[in-house]
Amino acid sequence: MRLVILLIFLSIYLQSKACDCEAPELILEAYNADAVFVGRAIEKVYSKDSSYYTITFEVVKHYKNLIYPFKRVNVRMVAEGEYSGIYSSCDWHINNRETWLILGSFYQGEFYFDGYCGNSQTLGPNGISPLQSKVLGQLNEFNILDYQFSSGNYFEGNSPMIDLDSLSVEFSSLGECQSKALVFNIDRSGKLTSAYIADQSWLSTFEVDSTYLIRSFEAKEPMVPKSKFEEKVIAFANSIKQWTPLSHKKTGERVSGQVYSLIYCDERGFLKLGRF
């Protein structure tokens, strides 16, 4: 019963996200996973009450395995709606004899993966794509410390270690106040290395690493201040020196971070920084 409740909870949780989600970069999901492999479904068995089923995957090729070198693994899932009574437009299921690329992890002895909001997917006769093969083939050489990330998904941290309400700069002598987008670059220890204004076109452009196809958040050349007001904004942003370090949620590794925020003027005529 406990297993069925857990499976139903995970199914509802994943489905609540499934219709409004974007798969993470393949390399980051693979780095976070306990195991990455291509597997063939060789058996599908329903429970006695048909509330869930167990799929047995036979591993065709391992790309990563942090637990043990298994050749087969079982995956339990809430059964299709006609059996379980749980329906969703975002349902996904596994059929016998399908071949899958799977990125998953173990939780309380059970193996789980996301076949909708992740990079796990059924494969056609040609197998994984050349780009997927390129990324996964170099998975063991990936060094997370070589890149800069933003909080969210697999990372947490990068909040200013200061009461934001205590930060205020009067701007009335500088002309009309305008809201500005700010970029903060923070090193692995949580120390601010630079802060500057960025317009919408600057924020919407990014580079993609050619090896791992990961979006690069590395610091770019800052925009030159166009007014005394913008100079004041930059000075204000650079006064926030210390931040909580950004770290990988699973491994705890500290990485360089980049934070985007909005600076605005409150009703009293003071510059204020948006909450993080």
CATH architecture of structural domain 2-142: Beta Barrel (2.40)
Contact 155, 244 (CB under 8 A): no
Per-residue tens of pLDDT for the chain, all 276 residues: 444 434 444 454 444 444 677 889 999 999 999 999 999 999 999 999 988 999 999 999 999 998 888 999 999 998 887 877 777 777 889 999 999 999 999 999 899 999 888 999 999 999 999 999 999 999 999 999 999 999 988 999 999 998 776 666 656 555 667 788 889 999 999 999 999 888 766 555 667 888 898 876 656 666 777 888 888 888 888 989 999 999 999 999 999 999 988 888 777 777 777 765
β-sheet bridge partners, residue 44 = 55
Instruction: Count CB neighbours of 185 within 10 A.
Output: 20
Which residue spans of the chain are classified as CATH 2.40.50.120?
A: 2-142
| Global pTM value | 0.83
pLDDT tens digits, 79-114: 887 877 777 777 889 999 999 999 999 999 899 999
Contact 100, 37 (CB under 8 A): no
Q: Which pLDDT value is given to residue 9?
A: 43
For 115, counting Cβ atoms within 10 Å of its Cβ (0-12 exposed, 13-18 middle, 19+ buried), the class is buried
